[in-house]
Structure 1
Amino acid sequence: MEKRKFTMREALWLLALLILAAGIYLWSLLQPAGSTAVIEQNGAELYRVTLSSLSEPEQLEVNGTVIELSRAGARFVSSPCPDQVCVEMGLLTRAGETAVCLPQRVSVRIAGGAGADSVTG
């Protein structure tokens, strides 16, 4: 049985695919960190905090959940819910990341963009 060799066309396609994958990976690393934490309950926005404006970590309590905000990001610290999935989500740092405590109907998401108020609510 004779071994088949790559054709030049197949090699170029493979190279293009590898370059594309590397580009997507590097693009994801270079995405800017989210700049604003948005805290909502029952779909209504309660707070919008510009994370870069915080000089030290700040904690907010919403319906029994404790949320910590810092320059690094936002996270659920504690919740009265039994499974603690929201707490296990850890620190949210990039725009588009979200953590939700379903039993308490509280969500935290990181939104990109500038020009938001420091704290509203």
Structure 2
Amino acid sequence: MTGPIVVLVVEDDAITRINIVDALHDEGFKVHEAPTSEEALQTLDAELGVDCLLTDVDLGAGLDGLRLASQARGNFPLVEIVVVSGQLRQMPTDVPDARFFIKPYDPATIADAVRAMVLEGRNRNR
């Protein structure tokens, strides 16, 4: 599979979501966004070619980001996962192979990590 990397950003804080979505767009990614885990699962189910799920841990109502990531890993095993949190200081072991970043994070660092993970996954799955 070639083409732009498709990222689904799941973040309930609108300003934080807009900032990372804009930064990823600027880096050349195609970005979908969702403020809730429910909307994120609908987006994943829509088969939009999502390469990477980037989710905050604390999403308010519904599934938290760790449960969302775990469910995504089970249902969409080829989707790479990045988890961010302003409260946790290390990644729980719930989601193997996910990358973890503490807020506030550098959007360029997130973009570099997503790019590396997706390209490695694409090479692995050829």
Query: Do these two structures clear the TM 0.5 threshold for a shared fold by scoring above it?
Result: no
Structure number having the greater helix percentage: 2
Structure showing greater Rg: 1
Report the TM-score, using the length of structure 2 for normalisation: 0.28
Report the TM-score, using the length of structure 1 for normalisation: 0.28
Structure number having the greater strand percentage: 1
